[in-house]
């Protein structure tokens, strides 16, 4: 098990951690979630059949782990704040955690862009992180998200348009 | 041009967002993972671990059988309460590992005659006489003498309303609604909907009125905000065809405080239209067809072609399955008035099988929500001329209901 862990950690850890972090924007939560991801991966690594690349398989497990986390969070929230949220509301995740060091040193404009990511739906955020921050291809992004490639393209287009509008609004404001 | 440049700029900025490093050391992370994995790997399962639960289960079953027999021999004709155990037993009978926890208020009320440990589910969802579809109700002569009542629950996570069509010999009246809703056991289908236990529907001067009988009890049991959401999502599917709004009041006729909705005296029942129907697999293993009003991006469907595209998209996060298999391609023809024509290209998953029948049923009900009357399905390369009860290359009528069920009496 240690050998498999070492291999996965050395090969993919930084990328998977970064993906999870940009989704949840909280180090503590990201650490818990990557730990959970490794547990799932180590339990099923022997069953990995190589139908997708190991990297997309790992990211896919991480994505499901994060989605479960958001769903649990939403259920907790619903207990206290009600269930009125329309279908898309819960898919928008707002972060309240302090900015990480890597972001604090950025220009004001880049910090704003980082903050505006929270205003995207979770699907849009997933596409933006995978395509631009992780620099993944449309094909790999589609495999991780279990979507068609055309859906990735459409979601990416809408996300960029929304970010453009949000950044524009902020400049005007 | 300027817009395109701005979008390029956003993409460049996104590319420039920095890598974020994990603050945790590799060894400490491994130790945590190892601790969580070890109990499963190292501790051999004691033989008592299997024998004891088995014995306990046998003792409990004997105990419950004795209890049930005692109750059957008493003269009480009223309803009795079956504990959570009975529901858990039902779930065990279906071989499920996960257990839903129910609070005291969610205890299930069942008529004594329905208590049957081998078949606790009080609803028959398959092989209902007169029903030809799996997930839809097609108009047949056998149904002429019977009545259809729409009862709407919510998915377990309260994300989707799930209309059910109760097939009954009784008259469709508000009294029947009140009876059905106050005792409907949504958890048996993996749904929720307890909000209606506390309300009664009446009709006065062409207005539909929902009277909350015990507001305090209702708020204690479910929480006012949950009530409001459940009402809002489900009432439209039940009554929007017949009423534009619904009056909501407490026992003395005052408006009702529904948490974040504020103080309400009326719900607007906006029409239910333009839907994409997909499938939901619930925690109890039931598969139900569900109407979806918006895309995952929150947009409404304007035309049926948008809904058909959406029907190929599963939403794994909320257990929603696609109703048109991914990868299947088709040509849509709307040239005939009130008719949808779909020609599917040859594909390995299409044939006289369950997947194709589910697809056809979802298309039929989706077409109805866009006010079409008929659907014609063509599938290239199919030698059979029908899929289950549906003839290919012929106009099929849209259904009259979805998710048929019958109360086992």
Q: Is A86 on the interface with B (CB under 8 A)?
A: yes
Least confident of A82-86, A109-113, B83-87, B172-176: B83-87
> What ranges do the domains of chain A cover?
2-172
User: What pLDDT score does B222 carry?
Assistant: 57
Q: Is residue B358 part of a domain?
A: no
Q: Rounded CA gap, B358 and B278, in Å?
A: 9
Q: What is the mean pLDDT of residues A3-27?
A: 91
Of the candidates A39, A82, A87, the beta carbon closest to that of B159 is on A87
Concatenating the DSSP letter of every residue in A1-38 gives -HHHHHHHHHHHHHHHHHHHHHHH--HHHHHHHHHHHH
pLDDT > 70? residue B228: no
State the pLDDT confidence band at B3, using cuts at 50, 70 and 90. low
Is pLDDT above 80 for B83? no
**What local confidence, expressed as pLDDT, does residue A83 receive?**
41
* pLDDT at residue B58 is higher than 50: yes
Strand intervals (E) in B156-244: 161-168, 191-192, 199-204, 207-212
- Please tell me the predicted confidence (pLDDT) of residue B370: 94
* Site of tokens 């404001």: A173
Share of chain B above pLDDT 70, in %: 69
pLDDT at residue B296 is higher than 90: no
Q: How confident is the model at residue A7 (pLDDT cuts 50, 70, 90)?
A: confident
- Answer yes or no: is pLDDT of B279 > 90: yes
CA B137: distance to chain centroid?
A: 16
- Looking at the complex, report in whole angstroms how far the Cα of residue A57 sits from the nearest Cα belonging to chain B: 16
* Cβ atoms of residues B159 and B247 within 8 Å: no
3-state secondary structure of B220: helix
Residue B217 lies in a domain: no
3-class SS shares of chain A: helix, strand, coil, % to 5: 80, 0, 20
Alpha-carbon distance of B200 to B166, in angstroms, equals 19
Residue B100: exposed, middle, or buried by beta-carbon count in 10 A (0-12, 13-18, 19+)? middle
For range B349-358, the mean pLDDT: 94
pLDDT surpassing 70 at residue B281? yes
Higher pLDDT, A9 or B95: A9
Query: Sorting pLDDT into bands at 50, 70 and 90, what band is B331?
Result: very high
pLDDT at residue B349, as a whole number: 94
pLDDT (0 to 100) of residue B187: 82
In the 8-state DSSP scheme, what is residue A75?
Answer: H
- Spatial distance between the Cα atoms of B36 and B286, rounded to a whole number of angstroms: 33
**Which of residues 20 through 79 in chain B touch A, CB cutoff 8 A?**
20-24, 26, 29-30, 32-34, 36-37
Question: Which residue has better confidence, A2 or B366?
Answer: B366
Lowest mean pLDDT of A4-18, A68-82, A121-135, B267-281, name the range. Answer: A68-82
Residue B61: is its pLDDT beyond 50? yes
| Residue A47 or A161, more confident | A161
- In 3D space, the residue among A145, A56, A134, A64 whose CA is nearest the CA of residue B296 turns out to be A145
Q: What is the strand order of the sheet B147-155 is part of?
A: B123-124, B404-407, B161-168, B147-155, B191-192
The most distant pair of C-alpha atoms in chain A lies apart, rounded to whole Å, by 55
B352 touches chain A (CB under 8 A): no
Mean pLDDT confidence for B25-37: 86
Residue A87 to residue B293, Cβ atoms within 8 A: yes
From B105's Cα to the closest Cα of chain A, the distance in A is 16
Q: Give whichever of A57-71, A80-94, B288-302, B335-349 has the largest mean pLDDT.
A: B335-349
Nearest to B20 among A18, A148, A158 (CB): A18
Would you place residue B34 in the very low, low, confident or very high pLDDT band (cuts 50, 70, 90)? confident
Contact A9 B29 (CB under 8 A): yes
On whether any CB of chain B is under 8 Å from the CB of A132, the answer is yes
Q: Which residues contact B344 (CB under 8 A, 6 or more apart)?
A: B328, B329, B330, B350, B377, B378, B379, B380
- How many domains does the structure of chain B reveal? 1
pLDDT tops 70 at residue B28: yes
The structure tokens 């290359």 sit at: B393
A-to-B residue pairs, Cβ atoms closer than 8 angstroms: 142
The minimal CB distance from B226 to the residues A70, A82, A109 is found for A82
Is 0.95 exceeded by the ipTM?
no
Distance CA A163, CA A167 (A): 6
Confidence of residue A14 (pLDDT cuts 50, 70, 90): very high
Contact B338, B346 (CB under 8 A): no
Higher pLDDT, B310 or B146: B310
SS3 state at A126: helix
Q: Residue B325: left if φ>0, alpha if ψ -120 to 50, beta else—which one? A: beta
| CATH for the A2-172 domain, from 3.80.10.10, 1.20.140.160, 3.90.110.10, 3.40.50.150 | 1.20.140.160
Residue A58 clears pLDDT 80, i.e. is over it: yes
Q: What is the spatial distance between Cα B395 and Cα B372, in angstroms, rounded to a whole number?
A: 12
Report if residue B316 sits inside a domain: no
What percentage of residues in chain B have a pLDDT greater than 90?
31
Of A114, A151, A164, the CB nearest to B6: A164
Average pLDDT over residues A56-68: 86
DSSP for residue B42:
H
Question: What is residue B341's predicted lDDT score, i.e. its pLDDT?
Answer: 96
Crossing angle, helix B26-42 and helix A27-44, to 10 degrees?
Answer: 50
Give pairs for B84-89: CB < 8 Å, separation 24+.
B85/B60, B86/B110, B86/B115, B86/B117, B86/B120, B87/B120, B87/B187, B87/B188, B89/B61, B89/B64, B89/B117, B89/B120
pLDDT score for B138: 92
Do B37 and A1 make contact, defined as CB atoms within 8 angstroms? yes
Nearest Cα neighbor of B282 from B189, B357, B374, B373 is B189
Nearest to B250 by CA among B273, B274, B219: B219
- b/e per residue A86-119 (b: at least 16 CB within 10 A): ebbebbbbebeeeebeebeebeeebeebbbbbee
Calculate the average pLDDT of chain A.
81
Q: Does A167 touch chain B (CB under 8 A)?
A: yes
Nearest CA in chain B to A151: B313
Chain B contacts in chain A segment 44-63 (CB below 8 A)? none
Q: Average of pLDDT values for B307-319? A: 90
Instruction: Please state the length of chain A.
Output: 173
Instruction: Report the mean per-residue pLDDT for chain B.
Output: 76
Which is higher by pLDDT, B220 or B297?
B297
Look at residue B260 in the predicted model and tell me its pLDDT.
Answer: 58
Q: Are B7 and A164 in contact (CB < 8 Å)?
A: yes
pLDDT in tens, A119-166: 998 889 999 999 999 999 998 898 888 778 888 888 899 899 999 999
Does A109 contact chain B (CB < 8 Å)?
A: yes
Give the residue-averaged pLDDT of A66-79.
Answer: 71
pLDDT level of residue B318 (50, 70, 90 thresholds): confident
Which residue would you say has higher pLDDT here, B252 or B215? B252
Supply the pLDDT for residue B142.
Answer: 79
The verdict on residue B216 lying in a domain is: no
Residues 155-174 of chain B with CB under 8 A from chain A are: 157-160
């Amino acid at each position: 098990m240690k050998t498999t862990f070492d291999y996965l950690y050395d090969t993919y850890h930084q990328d998977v951690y970064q993906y999870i972090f940009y989704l949840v924007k909280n180090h503590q939560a990201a650490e818990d979630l990557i730990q959970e991801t490794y547990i799932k991966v180590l339990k099923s690594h022997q069953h990995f059949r190589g139908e997708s690349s190991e990297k997309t398989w790992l990211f896919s497990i991480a994505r499901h782990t994060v989605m479960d986390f958001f769903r649990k969070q939403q259920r907790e929230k619903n207990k206290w704040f009600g269930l009125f949220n329309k279908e898309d509301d819960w898919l928008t995740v707002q972060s309240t955690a302090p900015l990480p060091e890597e972001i604090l040193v950025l220009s004001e404009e880049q910090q704003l862009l980082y903050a505006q990511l929270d205003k995207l739906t979770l699907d849009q955020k997933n596409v933006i992180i995978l395509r631009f921050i992780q620099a993944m291809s449309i094909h790999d992004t589609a495999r991780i998200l279990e979507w068609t490639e055309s859906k990735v393209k459409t979601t990416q287009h809408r996300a960029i348009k929304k970010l453009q509008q949000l950044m524009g609004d902020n400049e005007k404001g | 041009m300027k817009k395109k440049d701005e979008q390029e700029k956003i993409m460049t900025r996104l590319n420039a967002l920095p890598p974020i490093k994990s603050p945790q050391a590799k060894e400490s992370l491994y130790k945590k993972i190892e601790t969580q994995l070890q109990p499963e790997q190292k501790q051999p399962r004691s033989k008592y671990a299997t024998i004891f639960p088995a014995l306990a289960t046998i003792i409990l079953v004997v105990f419950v059988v004795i209890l049930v027999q005692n109750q059957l021999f008493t003269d009480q004709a009223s309803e009795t309460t079956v504990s959570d155990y009975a529901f858990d037993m039902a779930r065990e009978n279906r071989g499920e590992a996960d257990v839903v926890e129910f609070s005291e208020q969610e205890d299930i009320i069942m008529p004594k005659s329905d208590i049957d440990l081998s078949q606790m589910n009080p609803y028959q969802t398959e092989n209902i006489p007169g029903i030809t579809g799996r997930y839809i109700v097609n108009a047949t002569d056998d149904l002429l003498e019977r009545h259809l009542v729409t009862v709407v629950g919510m998915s377990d996570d309260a994300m989707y309303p799930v209309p059910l069509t109760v097939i009954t010999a009784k008259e469709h009246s508000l009294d029947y609604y009140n009876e059905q809703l106050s005792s409907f056991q949504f958890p048996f289908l993996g749904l929720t909907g307890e909000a209606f236990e506390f309300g009664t529907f009446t009709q006065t001067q062409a207005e539909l009125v929902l009277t909350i009988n015990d507001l305090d009890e209702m708020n204690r049991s479910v929480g006012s905000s949950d009530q409001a959401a459940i009402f809002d999502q489900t009432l439209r599917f039940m009554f929007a065809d017949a009423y534009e709004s619904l009056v909501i009041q407490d026992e003395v006729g005052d408006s009702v405080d529904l948490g974040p909705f504020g103080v309400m005296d009326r719900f607007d029942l906006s029409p239910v239209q333009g839907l994409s129907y997909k499938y939901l697999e619930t925690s109890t293993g039931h598969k139900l067809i569900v109407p979806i009003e918006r895309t995952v991006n929150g947009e409404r469907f304007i035309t049926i072609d948008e809904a058909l595209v959406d029907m190929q998209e599963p939403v794994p996060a909320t257990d929603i399955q696609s109703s048109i298999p991914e990868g299947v391609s088709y040509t849509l023809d709307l040239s005939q008035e009130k008719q949808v024509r779909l020609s599917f290209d040859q594909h390995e998953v299409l044939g006289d099988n369950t997947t194709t029948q589910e697809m056809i049923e979802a298309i039929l009900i989706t077409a109805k929500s866009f006010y079409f009357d008929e659907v014609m399905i063509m599938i290239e390369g199919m030698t059979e001329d029908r899929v289950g009860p549906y003839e290919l290359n012929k106009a099929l009528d849209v259904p009259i209901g979805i998710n048929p069920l019958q109360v086992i009496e």
